[in-house]
């Protein structure tokens, strides 16, 4: 008798199985067809023969598919082995077929640990044993680091190398650089996606979200290319995301434990922008407040990646970070923060000047509030102006009745405040109605 069993074309490229090795018995059920197929291929690739029988509820096609994969099939309906036990059917078939033993796996998950099962069979001193199963483990989630870059040849190499320690993939989106950013990033091990021209920070972020969505990564961490962000903080952002299930985790420069030496003028400017951003989001309570709305060091979940990849409202400019928060707010995303380290002493930062950047952010916030919260932007101040106008009207009439002289200044103030307030209030109501209509 030959100790080799010839494999069919279905298993081209797979080793011939050996009858000198114990067979592996599997039981097909109604729900384990895919697992059975994968296990048959794995068992055959290690020179063992798979023998398959069926449970009562099994799909009849499961045995046909197992036979096509070159497993030996024991069909309960046509078997000459009279037993109602799948294990016993498999044991008797393996013995009659001349195998030295049977390793039985009657479950629906986990793979047979063949070396451990062979050793157990040797010491068991019986023909059939239960298989030793490799524990089922969830695959490690994948992490991508996305880096928007524009003329960052001086720093991108070290940033990529540091980020590689904490990520499965480092993606650099080159936003039309005119220096050697692309070459340096590739040499450091990054995957580079290039823009034909400079479209802006937001445009680079949009490309990062699109590429991350296509790669089906589990977590995306975005950091700057100029070396301001510390890649060693990446695990903390990911850990916070896992523990809190937050769709977005922000590296917070102001949180307890953050090691950031920030110039006073920048701290004041960010305080103002943070306040305005939270107000524009309708956040009034400290528990829901985002402490660092402008940090570009963020981690995104798979759900956030997918939705941001298809959102055309993020924009191409530096205010994209704020627009992402508006996107998160409109989708009811949970946002968490962790302390992080920022280095403001880097020499090659290509960010906008703080004044220009601040004006861009403030302008975007005002436009967003006008679009999303016209009542808050125009209606509330309008009502206040009308009330002030009434006060000046009262003072005008009171002064006229008491002295007989008409106070022109009070009258002009009354008219100005009242008309301005009425116009603002009606404009807010109209814009609010249009927003409801668009929804």
Whether 439 shows a pLDDT value over 90: the answer reads no
Q: Are residues 171 and 300 part of one domain?
A: yes
Q: Per-residue pLDDT for 347 more than 90?
A: no
Asked if residue 126 and residue 235 are part of one domain, the reply reads no
- pLDDT-derived band at 398 (thresholds 50, 70, 90) equals confident
What are the phi and psi torsion angles at 125 (to 5°)? 55, 35
Residues 47 and 174 in one domain: no
Beta bridge partners of 171: 146, 191
Whether 49 and 176 map to the same domain: the answer is: no
Domain end call among 104, 134, 164: 134
pLDDT at 373 over 60: no
- Residue 5 pLDDT > 50, yes or no? no
- The predicted pLDDT at position 313 comes to 80
pLDDT at 352 over 60: no
Rounded to 5 degrees, what angle do the CA atoms 120, 117, 54 make? 125
Where residue 206 falls (left for φ over 0; alpha for ψ -120 to 50; beta otherwise) is: alpha
pTM: 0.58
pLDDT band at 14 (very low <50, low <70, confident <90, very high): very low
One domain, residues 112 and 147: no
CATH number for the domain spanning 21: value is 3.40.50
pLDDT at 382: 72
Summarize pLDDT for 359-370 with one digit per residue, the tens. 554 554 555 555
- How confident is the model over 240-249, as a mean pLDDT? 92
Claim to verify: residue 342 and residue 428 sit in the same structural domain: no
| Residue 385 domain boundaries | 374-438
Instruction: Report in angstroms the alpha-carbon separations of 199 from 150, 226, 308, 309.
Output: 10, 18, 18, 16
Q: What CATH number corresponds to the domain at position 149?
A: 3.90.550.10
Report pLDDT for 106.
Answer: 82
Same domain, 396 and 342: no
Q: Where are the alpha helices (DSSP H) in 312-379?
A: 320-330, 354-372, 374
pLDDT digits (tens, 9 = 90+) for 285-315: 677 788 888 888 999 999 999 999 988 888 7
Buried b (16+ CB within 10 A) or exposed e, 370-391: bebbbbbbbbeebbebbebbee
Half-sphere exposure of 177 (CA within 13 A, CB side): 24
SS3 144: strand
pLDDT, mean of residues 97-126: 89
Mean local confidence (pLDDT), 49-67: 82
pLDDT at 12 over 80: no
Specify the higher pLDDT residue, 272 or 155: 155
Distances (CA, A) of 246 to 2, 46, 140, 201, 237: 60, 43, 19, 24, 10
Residues 350 and 400 both lie in one domain: no
Q: Regarding predicted confidence, which is higher, 251 or 5?
A: 251
Q: d(Cα 247, Cα 236) in Å, to the nearest integer?
A: 15
Same domain, 127 and 40: yes
With CA atoms as reference, report the closest residue to 439 among 280, 330, 355, 307. 330
Number of domains in the chain: 3
**Tokens linked to 98:** 């001349």
The DSSP secondary-structure symbol of 229 reads B
- Overall average pLDDT of the 20-34 stretch: 88
Evaluated on CA atoms 173, 179, 183, 188, the torsion sign reads: negative
Q: Is 183 found in the same domain as 107? A: no
pLDDT at 98: 94
**53 shares a domain with 153:** no
pLDDT at residue 394 greater than cutoff 80: yes
- Tell me the per-residue pLDDT of 318-330, one tens digit each, with 9 for 90 and over: 678 888 988 888 8
Average pLDDT, the chain: 81
Nearest to 51 by CA among 15, 88, 8: 88
The domain boundary, picked from 311, 336, 369, lies at: 369
How sure is the predictor about 350, in pLDDT bands with cuts at 50, 70 and 90? very low
CA atoms within 13 A on the CB side of 168: 13
In this prediction, residue 136 carries a pLDDT of 65
Q: Is the pLDDT of residue 224 over 50?
A: yes
Which residue, of 88, 111, 134, is where some domain finishes?
Answer: 134
Residue with the bigger pLDDT between 265 and 299: it is 299
What confidence tier does 240 reach under pLDDT thresholds 50, 70, 90? very high
Q: Are residues 429 and 290 in the same domain?
A: no
């Amino acid at each position: 008798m030959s100790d080799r069993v010839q494999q069919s074309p279905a298993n081209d490229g797979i080793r011939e199985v050996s009858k000198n090795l114990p067979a592996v018995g599997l039981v097909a059920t109604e729900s384990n067809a895919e697992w059975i197929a994968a296990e048959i291929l794995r068992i055959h690739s290690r020179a063992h023969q798979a023998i398959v029988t069926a449970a009562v509820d099994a799909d009849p096609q499961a045995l046909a598919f197992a036979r096509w994969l070159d497993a030996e099939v024991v069909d309960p309906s046509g078997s000459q082995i009279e037993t109602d036990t799948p294990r016993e059917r498999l044991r008797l078939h393996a013995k009659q077929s001349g195998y030295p033993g049977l390793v039985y796996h009657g479950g629906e998950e986990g793979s047979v640990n063949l070396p451990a099962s062979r050793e157990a069979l040797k010491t068991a001193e019986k023909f059939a044993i239960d298989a030793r199963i490799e524990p089922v483990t969830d695959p490690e989630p994948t992490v991508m680091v996305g880096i928007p870059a524009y003329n960052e040849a001086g720093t991108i190499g070290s940033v990529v190398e540091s980020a590689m320690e904490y990520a499965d993939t480092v993606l650099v989106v080159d936003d039309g650089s005119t220096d050697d950013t692309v070459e340096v990033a590739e040499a450091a091990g990054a995957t580079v996606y290039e823009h034909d021209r400079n479209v802006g920070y937001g445009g680079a972020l949009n490309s990062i979200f699109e590429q991350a969505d296509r790669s089906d990564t589990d977590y995306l961490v975005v950091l700057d290319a100029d070396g301001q962000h510390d890649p060693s903080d990446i695990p903390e952002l990911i850990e916070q995301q896992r523990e809190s299930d937050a769709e977005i985790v922000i590296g917070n420069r102001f949180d307890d434990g953050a090691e950031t030496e920030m110039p006073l003028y920048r701290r004041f400017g960010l305080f103002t922008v943070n306040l305005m951003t939270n107000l524009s989001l309708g956040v009034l309570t400290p528990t829901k407040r985002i402490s660092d709305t402008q940090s570009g060091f963020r981690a995104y979940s798979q759900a956030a990646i997918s939705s941001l990849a298809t959102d055309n409202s993020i924009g191409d400019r530096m205010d994209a970070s704020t627009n992402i928060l508006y996107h998160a707010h409109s989708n009811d995303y949970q946002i968490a923060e962790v302390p992080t380290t920022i280095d403001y002493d880097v020499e090659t930062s290509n960010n906008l000047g703080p004044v220009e950047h601040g004006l861009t952010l403030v302008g975007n916030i005002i436009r967003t509030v006008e679009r999303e919260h016209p009542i808050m932007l125009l209606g509330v101040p309008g009502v206040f102006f009308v009330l002030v106008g009434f006060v000046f009207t009262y003072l005008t009439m009171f002064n006229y009745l008491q002295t007989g002289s008409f106070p022109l200044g009070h009258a002009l103030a009354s008219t100005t405040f009242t008309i301005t307030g009425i116009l603002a209030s009606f404009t807010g109501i109209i814009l609010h109605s249009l927003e409801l209509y668009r929804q």
